[in-house]
Structure 1
Amino acid sequence: MHEDVISHDERDAMVRAALAEHGDSGITPRHTLFYFHGDGDHDDLNEVARRAGFVTSGSDDMTVLETTTAVDETSFAPISAMMQSWAAAFQLDYDGWECAVVTN
């Protein structure tokens, strides 16, 4: 791994830090999107993701998975690990996630 590559754990922490700047702890479940790109097997990813309860969309070389989840570190770590393992299994690039800020 190159020194200039940021790990998914670091990227996840950066998103959570941005949420925290807006007063969002991440514990409230919210609509969350996960992005996959590349020439791998999007059809199989879609099938596995649907079986796991995700809504799937995208085109030939991009898949977006949607769900409602908490994004605090404890809740989100297993989901992040699952996304990374799916990317590896289906030979795709996992490009991270995004969600709305929730403050309540």
Structure 2
Amino acid sequence: METAALTSHEEKDAMVRAALAEQGDSGITPRHTLFYFYGEEEAHGDLCEVARRAGFLTRGQGDMTVLETTMPVDEASFSPVSAMMQTWAAAFQLDYDGWECAVVTN
């Protein structure tokens, strides 16, 4: 099941990058990026603490947390971060719902 979730997020990440590429965005320019987590309210505090230590801004309330950072989203840069998000979700028993970012074209 974990492998299926990993594949699912890898596929979703690729779909977002494909949508960016269609708009002329290679993903290499750093941009504001958001990551979404849902689950039991009590579990979010630990996620926020770890994320802040890793350099992310955190916000949210109740059963939702949004992590924010500025980063490139090309596959090489993004894949390790995506894997980290999935690991954090599993560690804190939260659902990682994916990410979004601004389109940046040069």
Q: Count the aligned residue pairs.
A: 102
1:1-104 alignment, distance < 5 Å: 1=1, 7-39=8-40, 41-104=43-106
Query: 1:41 is paired with a residue of what secondary structure?
Result: helix
CA RMSD of aligned residues (A): 1.5
TM-score by length of 1: 0.94
User: Normalized per residue, which structure has more helix?
Assistant: 2
Residue identity in the other structure for 2:31: R
For residues 63 and 88 of structure 1, the distance between their equivalents in structure 2, rounded to whole angstroms, comes to 15
For residues 18 and 32 of structure 1, the distance between their equivalents in structure 2, rounded to whole angstroms, comes to 15
Query: 2:82 is paired with a residue of what secondary structure?
Result: helix
For residues 10 and 44 of structure 1, the distance between their equivalents in structure 2, rounded to whole angstroms, comes to 28
Cα deviation for residue 45 of structure 1 reads 0.2
Cα deviation for residue 60 of structure 1 reads 1.3
Unaligned runs of 5+ in 1: none
Cα deviation for residue 86 of structure 1 reads 0.2
Percent of counterpart pairs with the same letter? 79
